[in-house]
Structure 1
Amino acid sequence: MEIFLIIFFCLCLFFPLLHLFHCLPWFREEDEEKKEPMESEKGISILVPSYNEAGIIETSVESMKSLAYGNFEVLYINDGSVDETLPLLHQLLHLKPSHKCPQRNLSHKEVDIVYQSSLYPHIYVINKVNGGKADALNAGIEYSSKELVVTLDADTVLTPPALDVVNEKFSDPNVVAAGGMVHVLQTKSANPLKKLSLAGTKMLVRVQMLDFLKAFYVTKLSLARFQALAIISGAFGIFQKSALIEVGGYRSSVGEDIDITLKIHRYIAKLKDKKVLLITDAISYTELPETWRDLFKQRIRWQKSYMDCLVHFRTFLGKTVFTKAVSFFYIIESFFVGILAAYITAGFFVANALMNMAFVVIGFILVYLAYIFLFNFIYNLLAISQLKRYGFSFEKGEHFLLFNTVVYDVLIHRFVTMYFVMYGSIAYFFNRDWKKVERTGRTYHVDSASQPPTYNQKAR
């Protein structure tokens, strides 16, 4: 028992420590260095799958209008919405029928009509029969005409220079796919490339913001340097269109973002020097849940997504677990340490409550609790420090709010997250459906890069 506990503790400590150090500037890759602005612009197709997005679609359109890039098109894929999404797009864009044609490489549900904006000719709307997010993305790929494909959630706002940074990174022909940096839309300030604001945010939003900072500026950054990034966030992903077609597009699943990333890794495993990046200078903002109900739906979906891809890609992951970094971290870290450790930890607590256990086990639990509190406190501070290192800071006078959020995260949210992992991992085998997270109904105004964004509450 003692040997098992020691091994378990060491594994739980090893991977967080590894990422804690590997995300630091000492391990910076050549791909992360800033280059001179590119003279030529690669063509970029931005795909925005939209199902019942009336509460956020105006913000998305305003964001597309503010992008400082020339060679791009935007395709909103209205996936059979039953709310006011399509009428709003008509109102905002002055749509007219378009003759844009598909390339017939990927299958998807029937497209009723394709529209083009009279006001902004580079913006299109594909109106199709409902088939789910993966199906909508496949339709978007089919109708896209550029060499790079950017996928965004409808509530994702790109900062004006984001596409220029993408263009620069994909000037390397070996870059097949990449993830952009995702910040929290509710913390977007008047200077979205330098400042974050906690004003008016709930504790639930702030603690999710910490989750995102730790995920993107510590864990994902470290994994990308190992060529082990297994999740290109659906909120902001970038792909070579040819690669998406080669892998057969998106699979209809509970987690299309993990699925397409692992498909890309399986595809480039046979190709020399091809890679997947995290682009730290391509900044986006996405809206996060503001209620426990919606947070529960989101996190359970995330966990079901992980389990779905673990099962679906089991052959690839199993065969390459010791030869490909992405497989090693997906199985050893995410499954054995991330998921099984949650059950083992909970089991120790339950056993200790029901039985008169040996002193050594009680001592282990106390030591493990101390580790959780101290290490997670350090992890939060590192994420905030990383944020500063990449040029961001919080508004003046918000440090007390930030400190309170860190304490809440360490003492409470850490265990709530553990519950989400445990519940979602089991729920996958009984119910693979997922429920859409409700939008807040706010309109975030992002008229230009220089104009400060605000938001107003809309009727839902």
Structure 2
Amino acid sequence: MQFVTILTLFLCTFFPILHMINALPIFYNRKKRKQNIVRSNKSISILIPCFNEESIIETAIKGINRLDYSAKEVIYINDGSQDETMKILHKLLRLSPEERKISNQLKSNKINNFYKSTIYPNVYVIDKVNGGKHDALNAGIEYSKNELVVTLDADSILANDALHVLNEVFQDPDVLAAGGMVHPLQGVQFNEKNIERTLSVNHVIRFQIFEFIKGFYINRVSLAKFDALSVISGAFGVFNRKILFKVGGYRKTLGEDIDITLKFQQYILKNPGKRMVFVPNAVCYTECPETWKDLFKQRIRWQKAFIDCVIYYFPMLIKTFLFRTVSFFMLIDSFILGTVAIYFTLFNFGYMLFTNIGNAQNLLLFYLLGVVSLNFIYSLFAMYLANYYGVKFKGKEKIRLTVTIILDLFVYRFVTLFFVLFGTISYFINRNDWNKVSRSGRIYELEKDKGMKNVG
């Protein structure tokens, strides 16, 4: 027991330090491949699944209309919404029925109608019977016609230059998929020339703003360098359309983003030299939960989705564990240390409380000091990297950021552990419960001349 405890503490320290060091720009430059020459704009289809999005759909349309990338089409997929979503789409886009031939390679629920906007070029709407997000995305892939497919949530807004950045990345024919940087939409203020970061929001959003910074600029950047990406965020992902057909599209699961990423990893395993990347300069802003209740529902669903994919893909992960970094990091770093170790630590503390309360107190003190110290260093690294990519906090926002970091160390860190514990147990009790997070209904100012370029 003592050996396992020491090994667990060592690994829980080693992997965060490894990711911090590997995420540093100096190592990025060392491995950086030759810059791609942009010879032409890749054609892109943007798919936006919509289910009961009446409070945010207008913002989504404004956000897409701001983009100046010419070689794109936009497809909104109304997945049997029970509110006014379809009516608003008709009103704002002035839809007219359109015919489009599809291959029927990916199955989805019945398509009621396919529409084209009469006022915006290359903007379309699929109206279909409800089947879930995976079903809506499969329908969108079928009706899309361009080389690359971008998947966005209805509450996600792309930075002006995001598609141009991705276009450069996909000039490399070996890149099959890419994930972009995601920031909470509530944490930005749009100005004429750029955007400014704000923490003038409630603590639930503040924690998520800082959490996204840590998760993407350290963990996601590091895993991408190791060719070990196991998830491309559902809020903003880019995929080669032909490969989406080859892997069978999306599977019905709570975590479509993890599932499709691992499907692409399976494809890459059979096609050496192909790869997926993370692009921190391609930025998306997405609305995050604003209450503890909604945050709880979202994170429980995320953990359930993670456990589901670990179980579903376990044969592949265990077979390739010794020679594929994605399998190694997903099993050891994410599953063993990110989930199993939490249960082991609690069990160990409980056992020692009954057998040796003195040692239990010493171990608890050592654990808390270690966790706080390591996470403080991790937080400093995250802010350094965020600053490197252009995320800066000014004036009073620095004070709010300092308070957020302190509360994150002593409060939110342990809240996230509870999410993991509860979510894992919940998977085996009710794995199919979706728990959709409610939208804020806030109207965001997204005028076309209010730039969002060059912000990480």
TM-score range, shorter chain: over 0.9
Deviation at 1:187, TM superposition (A): 1.0
Report if aligned partners of 2:192, 2:451 keep a CA contact under 8 Å in 1: no
Where does structure 2 lack aligned partners over 5 or more consecutive residues?
none
Instruction: Using the TM superposition, give the Cα deviation of residue 445 of structure 1 relative to its aligned residue in structure 2, in angstroms.
Output: 2.0
Q: Tell me whether 1:314 sits opposite 2:314 in the alignment.
A: yes
In 2, distance between residues paired with 1:139 and 1:34?
Answer: 36
- Quick check: 1:54 aligned with 2:42? no
User: Which residue is equivalent to 1:458?
Assistant: none
Partner of 2:118: 118
Structure 1 counterpart of 2:17: 17
CA RMSD of aligned residues (A): 1.9
Residue identity in the other structure for 1:186: Q
2:299, 2:366 → 1: CA distance? 28
Task: Say whether residues 1:426 and 2:425 are aligned partners.
Answer: yes
Distance 1:335 1:50, change over 3 A: same
Q: Map of 1:58-457 to 2, 5 A cutoff?
A: 58-191=58-191, 195-352=195-352, 354-355=353-354, 357=356, 359-432=358-431, 433-450=433-450
What do the CA deviations read for 1:191-239 (whole angstroms, capped 9, x no partner)? 5996442253111101011111111000010000001010000000000
Change in 2 beyond 3 A, CA 1:436/1:31: farther
Q: CA deviation at 1:168?
A: 0.4
Contact 1:159 1:193 in 2 (8 A): no
2:48 alignment partner, SS class: strand
The structure-2 alpha-carbon separation of the partners of 1:324 and 1:194, relative to structure 1 and needing over 3 Å to count, comes to: farther
The Cα of 1:114 is off from its aligned counterpart by 0.6
1:396-423 deviations in whole A, cap 9, x for unaligned? 2211110111111110111110010011
Please list every run of 5 or more consecutive structure 1 residues that lacks an aligned counterpart in the other structure.
453-460
Deviation per CA, 1:99-123: give whole Å up to 9, x if none: 1232211111110001111110211
Q: Which amino acid aligns with 1:68?
A: D
Percent of residue pairs identical: 46
For residue 321 of structure 2, give the secondary structure of its aligned residue in structure 1.
Answer: coil
Task: Show CA shifts across 1:340-394 (max 9, x none).
Answer: 1111222244345x52516444322211110111111111121111110012201
Structure 2 CA distance for partners of 1:381 and 1:52, relative to 1, 3 Å = same
**Structure 1 residues 139, 192: closer, same or farther in 2, change over 3 A?**
farther
1:112-140 deviation digits (Å, cap 9, x = unpaired): 00111111021100000000000000000
1:433-454 Cα offsets, whole Å, 9 max, x none, are 22100000112121214269xx
Q: Is the 8 A contact 1:195 1:392 kept in 2?
A: no
| Aligned counterparts of 1:341 and 1:169: Cα–Cα separation in 2 | 37
SS in 2 for 1:443: coil
CA pair 367-48 structure 1, distance change in 2 beyond 3 A? same
Aligned partners of 2:147 and 2:241 also within 8 Å: yes
Query: CA separation in 1, counterparts of 2:362 and 2:255?
Result: 40
Give the secondary-structure state (helix, strand or coil) at the position aligned to 1:355: helix
One-letter amino acid of the structure 2 residue matched with residue 417 of structure 1? T
State the alpha-carbon separation in 1 of the partners of residues 53 and 34 from structure 2: 35
In structure 2, relative to structure 1, the CA distance for the partners of 1:70 and 1:301 (3 Å cut) is same
Amino acid at match of 1:254: L
**Residue 278 of structure 1: SS of its match in structure 2?**
strand
Query: CA 1:192 to 1:304, structure 2 compared with 1: closer, same or farther past 3 Å?
Result: farther
Look up the SS of the partner of 2:443 in the other structure: strand
What is the CA–CA distance in structure 2 between the aligned matches of 1:234 and 1:214, rounded to whole Å? Answer: 18
What secondary structure does 1:233 align onto?
coil
Match of 1:48, SS? Answer: strand
Give the length in aligned residue pairs: 452
Q: Which residue pairs with 1:456 in the alignment? A: none
Task: Indicate if the aligned counterparts of 1:289 and 1:438 stay in contact, CA closer than 8 A.
Answer: yes
Equivalent residue letter for 1:364: L
